[in-house]
Amino acid sequence: MAMALAQWLRRVDSVTPLGGGWNSRTWLVTAGDRTYVAKLVDHLDAPGLDAGLRLAEFAAARGLPCGAPVRTRGGALTIGLPEGVLALLRHVPGNPPDLSAADQVRRAGRVLARAHKILRDYPAGGEPRYRWPWDWVTRCLGTVAMPAQVNAAARRAWQQAVAAAGDKHLTISVIHADPGPDSFLLSGAGAGQDALIDWATPLRGPLLYDLASFAVLTRDAGPHAARWFTEGYAEEMPEIGPQLAHLGWLVRARWVAQAIYFASRIERGIGRGPGAPDANEQGLATAYAGMTARSGLPGPYSLDLPA
């Protein structure tokens, strides 16, 4: 690792492994009085990482703390290694919101709204990831192996979400596409320094998709977390208010993405990440339950979203 980091840093004092995630490995890197995060993803995930790094660089230049990339001495965003693609990010201090604390979760929602305002001006270009509806969803539902009932539910939920986005005139723009609680770092220096990190899967789609993603990724905390988050977002971006009645369609769309993700991991034999040995199978089952639940959130609670 130290040899690879020489592409960026002339001096490396320490490299400490951080907790492993579903999609990457990370290390805390210290060099003198500066701290960084090194991030390694599989070669298959490199295009998403590259797109996210460019977007984070854009957002950071406009004042959003976001774990922006450090370019190599040759000006590159990443370097290729036998085991994957490596990036070096600026370390952002802070802590994820406590999902039982309304003020902290609302604060995270406001950060997402600020990010969305900045990303309105991002020159996305013609990459497929920035075209809505997403071609990759239809392609994956036709190629990734999954049980027939899961595939049928996913196709139905996706068609409904795409139709709702058009019929209800939902706002389409560049989005983070995977904001969970750990993507937000609340700063001790005040809300103005709160960060949104982990830009590895940016897309162009309905703004509501990011709100739906947070709801899905915090479902175990109960419905209050998603409600508080949405309230904070709407405080910063009140124009989203009339669209929130249609959030349920995008919650189901997020479950479609979850179904594709876990089915693909099963097909590729990927076991990396937190959870039990059968975490992929559990994830796929939960995605099916989410796609077929009235609210999009399986279990004894709901967000009271429209059917």
**Nearest in space to 213 (alpha carbons), one of 112, 120, 121, 144:** 112
Cis status of the peptide bond prior to 223, with omega within 30 of 0? no
- The mean per-residue pLDDT over the stretch 139-160 comes to 97
Q: Above 90 in pLDDT, residue 173? A: yes
Pick the range with the lowest mean pLDDT from 98-112, 130-144, 287-301: 287-301
| Side chain identity at residue 190, one-letter code | G
Distance, CA of 243 to CA of 16 (rounded, Å): 44
Calculate mean pLDDT across residues 174-195. Answer: 96
- Burial tier of 260 (Cβ tally within 10 Å: 0-12, 13-18, 19+): buried
Q: What is residue 148's predicted lDDT score, i.e. its pLDDT? A: 98
C-alpha–C-alpha distance, residues 219 and 38, integer Å: 29
Residue 3 pLDDT level (bands cut at 50, 70, 90): confident
pLDDT > 50? residue 306:
no
Q: What is the pTM of this model?
A: 0.93
* Percent of the chain whose pLDDT exceeds 90: 86
Mean pLDDT of 205-228: 96
The predicted pLDDT at position 300 comes to: 38
pLDDT for res 24: 83
Binning pLDDT at 50, 70 and 90, where does residue 307 land? very low
**Burial tier of 135 (Cβ tally within 10 Å: 0-12, 13-18, 19+):** exposed
Q: Which domains occur in the chain, in start order?
A: 2-90 (3.30.200.20), 102-292 (3.90.1200.10)
User: Is residue 292 pLDDT above 80, yes or no?
Assistant: yes
Q: How confident is the model at residue 23 (pLDDT cuts 50, 70, 90)?
A: confident
- Other CB atoms within 10 A of residue 258 CB: 21
Q: What is the pLDDT of residues 113-138, one digit of tens each?
A: 999 999 999 999 889 999 999 999 99
pLDDT in tens, 190-201: 999 999 999 999
pLDDT at 57 over 80: yes
Amino acid, res. 216: V
